[in-house]
Chain A
Amino acid sequence: MDFDEILGGAQQELRRGTVVLACLLVLRRPGYGYGLLDQLRELGFSVDANTLYPLLRRLEGQGMLASEWNTDEARPRKFYRTSQDGERLAAALLDDWRRIDGSVRRLDQGDPR
């Protein structure tokens, strides 16, 4: 197995789960599925359409996202928006993210605390 393959696998493991946080943060401003997919990809999150759409629906079912159909444009689209519970979840996940980041920094700088 060459290095790139190993890196790819490890990165996938590392990034799994960050998509939920990214969705919650991006959807503070209402957005629809395909637009969100585009945005996330531009930001460097590798996510498949067939993973993202079911994920949005799950988060909606859990009350983390709210949704409504927007019929203003030529084609109706379902817009998702982060709910209050979703904000709480995002805040908790962000805390976790920063804690992990801090720990990794300390480890990288050889500080064992």
Chain B
Amino acid sequence: MSSLTDRYVWGVLRSVPERQRADLEPEIRAMIADAVEARTAAGAAPPTAERDALIELGDPERLAARYTDRPLHLIGPRYFLDYRRLLAILVPIVAAAVAFAVVLGDTVAGTAIFETVVHAVAAAVGAAIQVAFWVTVGFALVERGDARRTESTAWTPDQLPQLPSPGRLSPVELVLGVTANVLVIAALVWQQAAAPVTVDGQGFTLFDPVLWSFWMPWFIAVAALEVGFTIVLYLNGRWTLLLATVNAVLNAAFALPAIWLLQQGRLINPDLVAALEAIAGGAWFGPTAAVIAVVVAVISAWDAIDGFLKAGRSRGAMGLPAMGSAMPRA
């Protein structure tokens, strides 16, 4: 037997399970011999006949895959849609969560802002690649498992996408929303750890350290809830009356205590205020606090109202003129 045929037979057998090899080898050799014989009988020179016979059989690994019923694709039509849906949900959430953790860690460690951003972006991209890779590996293994036993998730009409609506959160908004709240948490921790406000060479924390007994954990908890809320909003796809109400409650839970503490003079570190007033002279702090309180109130109120407006608009989205041109009317 010449070396081309031997190499071809080995090319098939090496990707076939051990126990099938002994059985398969004589069969493959016989069919190659038959094909070569038919060609030499038709007048072809033996080397050409062998070459052509092997060309007709094609890539040995493809033949082996057909013999063993192995798929020649990574993720086939049975699982592809589930695969893509899972990626679309997991990748943004994991990337945002990792960015969150990095910003938090860097801030506690007192890293410069620019460096923190670079770290966070690099970690988020790395996490996204990891998630995509392992999800792909998982689905590829399932594809190669017992195809009859593992059914893909049955599709139901509940999975239909929401019509595009003004309140729909994009992945970018998800990441921004999560990052913003993470930054708030990080900033609260950082200002305590680093005492970054310097007056006359002495470092002060911005907020009264006494607040750590209750109010600082409260603000951090509310910001963490906001992170969860943003993710829920993203997964839900659109604003609803319930989500708008939760959003308003969260805004109130943050803004009302902040304004109240500010008005009471308990929010800002009293040592810092004293040091500043000693330099600037006079009690300027009261008016400044009032301005800050108004700004906080306006921003929170607007965010709460905006949620309700979006909920209302997304309920009426069916009638949007833009949809009319894109969708055929019955």
**A contact residues vs B (CB 8 Å cutoff):** 32-35, 38, 48-51, 53-54, 57-58, 69, 75-78
Contact = CB atoms under 8 A, between A and B. Distances in A.
Interface of B: 26-28, 30-31, 33-35, 38, 56-58, 62-63, 66-67, 69
The 6 closest A-B CB pairs, nearest first, are A34-B34, A54-B66, A54-B67, A33-B31, A50-B63, A50-B58
Contacts of B38: 34, 38
B233 to A, nearest CB: 46
Contacts of A77: 30, 34
B61 to A, nearest CB: 11
Contact of B57 (A35, A50, A78): A50
Given A38-B38, A76-B26, A51 B66 contact: yes
A78 B27 contact: yes
Nearest to B67: A54
A49 B35 CA distance: 10
A17 B171 CA distance: 45
Contacts of B63: 50, 53-54
Nearest to A69: B26
Nearest to B60: A50
Does more than half of chain B's interface fall in helix, strand or loop, or is it mixed? helix
A34 B62 contact: no
Contact of B62 (A32, A50, A76): A50
A97 B77 CA distance: 28
Nearest to A34: B34
Contacts of B33: 75
Contacts of A78: 26-27, 30
Contacts of A50: 56-58, 62-63, 66
A75 B66 CA distance: 25
A64 to B, nearest CB: 16
Nearest to B27: A78
A76 B28 CA distance: 12
A34 B34 CA distance: 6
Given A32-B34, A34-B34, A34-B35, A57 B57 contact: no
A4 B231 CA distance: 53
Contacts of B34: 32-35, 77
Contacts of B35: 34, 49
A32 B66 contact: no
A77 B30 CA distance: 6
Nearest to B56: A49
Nearest to B64: A54
Given A34-B35, A49-B56, A53-B28, 5 more contacts: A33-B30, A50-B56, A50-B63, A77-B34, A78-B26
B110 to A, nearest CB: 65
Contacts of B27: 33, 53, 57, 78
Given A49-B57, A50-B57, A50-B62, A32 B67 contact: no
18 contacts: A34-B35, A38-B38, A48-B58, A49-B35, A50-B66, A51-B66, A53-B27, A53-B28, A53-B63, A53-B67, A54-B67, A57-B67, A58-B69, A69-B26, A75-B30, A77-B30, A77-B34, A78-B27
